[in-house]
Amino acid sequence: MSDVLQGEYEPSASRFVREQVELYERTGGREGNTLMDTGMPVVIVTMRGRNSGKVRKIALMRVEHDGAYALVGSQGGTPENPAWVHNLRAAPDEVALQDGPEPFAVRVREVGGEERRVWWDRAVAAYPPYADYQEKTDRVIPVFVAERAD
């Protein structure tokens, strides 16, 4: 684990997520860098678990614009937000992102209004199924913007 976010790492309960994160990190992003066989790129997001305090890691679709990244809490359009959304809300300044060989510290903020619309459009352009996911659920899918921490 990098020095960007310290603490005990608790791998995902999902075997697929665990294995993808490990492969991505072990190869510096050369492998495990797409969503299954779609060829669509992902990034690794590291955060602090809101209840456990442990370091958690997930792969999310890569939605990048001018060095900032959108983190979209779609969970395939299910009625509930993914657990990681609550982690980011609880500790937005304890987050790292890896898009290539090395992770870097980011600060995240949830966006709304016109800013959310702009980032949502970017997200759908990068990963068109997001539009279908929003149609499937009554909740507004949360969008966070991650920017390098200074």
Quote the CA–CA distance of 89 and 18 in Å, as a whole number: 22
Quote the CA–CA distance of 86 and 28 in Å, as a whole number: 27
CB 73 within 8 A of CB 108: no
If residue 56 lies in a helix (H) or strand (E), which one and from where to where? strand 55-61
pLDDT digits (tens, 9 = 90+) for 60-114: 999 999 999 999 999 999 999 999 999 999 999 999 999 999 999 999 999 999 9
Quote the CA–CA distance of 58 and 39 in Å, as a whole number: 18
CB 32 within 8 A of CB 58: no
pLDDT digits (tens, 9 = 90+) for 111-147: 999 999 999 999 999 999 999 999 999 999 999 999 9
Q: pLDDT band at 3, cuts 50/70/90?
A: low
Does residue 4 have a pLDDT over 60?
yes
- For 58, phi then psi, to 5°, come to -140, 160
All structural domains of the chain: 15-148 (2.30.110.10)
